[in-house]
């Protein structure tokens, strides 16, 4: 009787907690949608920040995230392949997995401070390269974990079939194992990209911000997330309206990327 009562109590508390979480989530999304949509105007996509627009901010944000992806994905995938295919479950592999898990849970501001101390402080100058490196460092452990986990789901019979056909280990990995796990790995990369595209703290210490359109990564670089933070602190209404509109656009971007990743995962399971 006590166990039945406890079971019902836990079920009720869990249900209430889930409902409360959903209520706050929809409250945030509803407020953001109402204020963001009402503050949007077409010229904000054709003007730079100095003209009350976000064109340069979107370009800058995606450029840094794209460069971070070009840096982080190859390193993360190679590390994940090593852990699953070459490490033979050694102590070194166990240490690397633990370090990767720690890095995934590390506060983004700590990574920003680290990159600041390595790339910004010695030259006393913010840059888009430093921002890209900070985002790449955040992306690498996610890609490592995803690659490692997805490769572990590939049946060993596929590897044995490749060996039976006389394939070398690296060809088996590239042509059989990775192809079998490509949907899961792609999903992990998309989710990692969705995380870094919405980061603010690392960019505050590395790329800072720029109100003008620029492609020079050696200089302060425009960032949508940092600009939202700055605009929200300004006292005038146009700046706050632009912050709401930019926040709504950023939320839509992250939501679309996450939904795409979930869709790919669901398709793979089917």
Q: What is the pLDDT of residues 127-165, one digit of tens each?
A: 999 999 999 999 999 999 999 888 888 888 888 788 887
Which 3 state secondary structure label does DSSP give 120?
A: helix
Give me the mean pLDDT over the 97-108 stretch. Answer: 86
Rg of the chain over Cα atoms, rounded to whole angstroms, equals 22
Question: For the segment 191-229, what is each residue's pLDDT rounded down to a tens digit?
Answer: 889 889 988 889 999 998 888 888 888 889 999 999 998
| CA atoms in the 13 A half-sphere facing the CB of 261 | 19
pLDDT at 269 over 60: no
pLDDT on residue 14: 92
Question: What gap in Å lies between CA 218 and CA 131, rounded to an integer?
Answer: 11
- Higher pLDDT residue, 269 or 216? 216
pLDDT on residue 270: 56
Mean pLDDT over each residue of the chain, to the nearest integer? 88
Question: What gap in Å lies between CA 241 and CA 249, rounded to an integer?
Answer: 13
- Higher pLDDT residue, 89 or 190? 190
Give the confidence band of 87 by pLDDT, cuts at 50, 70, 90.
confident
Q: Which of 209, 30, 217, 206 is nearest to 118 (CA)?
A: 206
pLDDT on residue 131: 93
Question: What gap in Å lies between CA 181 and CA 151, rounded to an integer?
Answer: 6
Give me the mean pLDDT over the 243-263 stretch. Answer: 87
Give me the mean pLDDT over the 30-42 stretch. Answer: 89
- Higher pLDDT residue, 239 or 166? 239
Contacts of 191 (CB under 8 A, 6+ apart): 142, 146, 257, 258, 261
Give the confidence band of 17 by pLDDT, cuts at 50, 70, 90.
very high
> What is the CATH architecture assignment of 44-269?
Orthogonal Bundle (1.10)
Question: What gap in Å lies between CA 175 and CA 171, rounded to an integer?
Answer: 6
Question: What gap in Å lies between CA 256 and CA 203, rounded to an integer?
Answer: 23
Please state the pTM of the whole predicted model.
0.87
pLDDT on residue 268: 58
pLDDT at 261 over 80: no
Domain residue limits, the chain: 1-39, 44-269
């Amino acid at each position: 009787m006590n166990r039945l009562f406890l079971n019902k109590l836990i079920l009720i508390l869990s249900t209430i907690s889930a409902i409360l979480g959903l209520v706050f989530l929809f409250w945030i999304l509803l407020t953001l949608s109402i204020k963001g949509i009402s503050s949007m105007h077409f010229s904000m996509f054709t003007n730079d920040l100095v003209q009350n627009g976000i064109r340069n901010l979107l370009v800058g944000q995606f450029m840094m995230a794209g460069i971070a992806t070009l840096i982080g994905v190859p390193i993360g995938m190679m590390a994940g392949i090593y852990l699953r295919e070459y490490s033979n479950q050694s102590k070194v592999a166990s240490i690397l997995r633990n370090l990767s898990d720690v890095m995934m849970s590390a506060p983004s501001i700590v990574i920003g401070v680290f990159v600041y101390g390595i790339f910004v402080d010695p030259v006393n100058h913010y840059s888009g390269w430093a921002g890209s490196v900070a985002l790449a460092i955040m992306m690498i452990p996610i890609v490592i974990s995803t690659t490692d986990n997805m490769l572990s789901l590939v049946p060993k019979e596929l590897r044995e079939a490749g060996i039976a056909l006389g394939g070398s280990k690296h060809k088996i990995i590239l042509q059989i194992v990775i192809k079998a796990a490509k949907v899961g790995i792609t999903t992990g990369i998309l989710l990692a990209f969705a995380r870094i595209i919405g980061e603010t703290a690392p960019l505050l210490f590395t790329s800072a911000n720029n109100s003008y359109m620029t492609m020079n990564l050696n200089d302060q670089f425009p960032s949508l997330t940092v600009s939202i933070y700055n605009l929200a602190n300004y006292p005038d209404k146009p700046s706050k309206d632009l912050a709401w509109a930019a926040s709504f656009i950023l939320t839509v971007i992250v939501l679309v990327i996450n939904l795409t990743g979930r869709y790919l995962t669901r398709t793979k399971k089917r």
